[in-house]
Amino acid sequence: MARPYLGNPKYTIEVLQKYGFVFQKRFGQNFLIDTHVLERIIEASEITKDDFVLEIGPGIGTMTQYLAEAAREVTAVEIDDALIPILKDTLKEWDNVTVLHGDILKTDIRKIADEKNQGRPIKVVANLPYYITTPIIMGLFESHVPVDSITVMVQKEVADRMQTGPGSKDYGALSLAVQYYAEPKIVANVPPNCFMPRPKVGSAVIRLTRHQNPPVTTLDEKLMFRLIRASFNQRRKTLSNSLKNSQELPYSKEEVEAAITECGLPLNIRGEALTLEQFARLSDTFSKLNK
Question: Which segments are annotated as binding site?
Answer: 30, 32, 57, 78, 103, 127
91 in Cβ contact with 61 (< 8 Å): yes
- Within the chain, how many helices (H) and strands (E) appear? 12, 9
> Which among 104, 79, 77 has a CA at the least distance from the CA of 67?
77
109 in Cβ contact with 144 (< 8 Å): no
Rg of the chain over Cα atoms, rounded to whole angstroms, equals 21
78 Rama class: left (phi>0) / alpha (psi -120 to 50) / beta = beta
Residues of each annotated binding site for S-adenosyl-L-methionine:
30, 32, 57, 78, 103, 127
> Which among 226, 236, 235 has a CA at the least distance from the CA of 177?
226
Contacts 24+ apart (CB under 8 A), 156-165: 156/189, 156/201, 156/202, 156/203, 156/204, 157/201, 158/130, 158/133, 158/134, 159/184, 159/186, 159/203, 159/204, 159/205, 159/206, 160/186, 160/204, 162/206, 162/208, 163/206, 165/275
Q: Residue 197, preceding bond cis, omega within 30 degrees?
A: yes
CA 188 to CA 30: how far, in whole Å?
17
